[in-house]
Amino acid sequence: MEASEIKKRLEELLSSELVWKIGEKQTGDGWVEIPLEKWTEACRLARDDEKLLFEFLRALSGVDRPGENNIELVAHLFSYRHRHAVVLKTKVSRENPVAASVCSVWPAAEWYEREIFDLLGVNFREHPDLRRILLPEDWPGHPLRKDYQQPASYRGIPTSRPAPEGSAS
């Protein structure tokens, strides 16, 4: 199915209007915007519906957008049965970043969501094991936030190094 048909099918299933967008340059994949409260439901329907059958979660990632004061969750889905793909997005507020987990839909989402929690600080409700996956447990803050400030030292190790004398930077 084409992206516009997939969007229409999702609208039927969710019985609500959805927005289909494409980047400014009109290239690359378009995406379907899902309201946050319907995120898990939309994902489950996209996986189970006969015409969509998105049984494969290719990637789940997060993007910090301080200008719009939200964090985007981006799910790249693919259907082996129908050989079609779609990108679903939803928006989480930066102040209170809580989203429902999609681990119950695709078990593969578990580590992706842990990564988003680790680097962007999004809390996933009903996640089976939400803890940091890449950084140490005692790491301060979430480094992929655009306003992240690195502390001067970590466990006594300075985080910067003076430039050698006479160097350009």
Partner 1 sequence: MTLIERSPEGAVAIGPIDKLLNLARKHSLWYLLFGTACCAIELMQTGGPRADADRFGMMFRSSPRQADVLILAGTITYKMASRIRLLYEQMAEPRYVIAMGSCACTGGLFQKSYAVVNGGDLFLPVDVYIPGCPPRPEALLEGLLVVQQKVAAEPWLKKIQGKVPAKPDPALPREC
Pick from 25, 83, 131, 161 the residue near partner 1 by CB under 8 A.
Answer: 161
Pick from 28, 67, 136, 166 the residue near partner 1 by CB under 8 A.
Answer: 136
Backbone angles phi, psi at 36, to 5 degrees: -55, -40
Any residues with CB less than 8 A from the CB of 34 and at least 6 apart, and which?
Answer: 10, 18, 42, 88, 89, 90
The residue type of 38 is K
Q: Does 111 bind partner 1 (CB under 8 A)?
A: no
- Size of residue set near partner 1 by CB under 8 A: 15
Backbone angles phi, psi at 131, to 5 degrees: -150, 170
**Is residue 129 a contact partner of residue 137, using CB atoms and an 8 Å limit?**
no
**Is residue 49 a contact partner of residue 82, using CB atoms and an 8 Å limit?**
no
Pick from 159, 165, 166, 168 the residue near partner 1 by CB under 8 A.
Answer: 159
Q: Does 157 bind partner 1 (CB under 8 A)?
A: yes
**Nearest distance in Å: CB 148, partner 1:** 7
Q: Does 160 bind partner 1 (CB under 8 A)?
A: yes
Q: Does 167 bind partner 1 (CB under 8 A)?
A: no
Binding site residues, partner 1, CB under 8 A: 134-136, 139, 143, 148, 150, 154-161
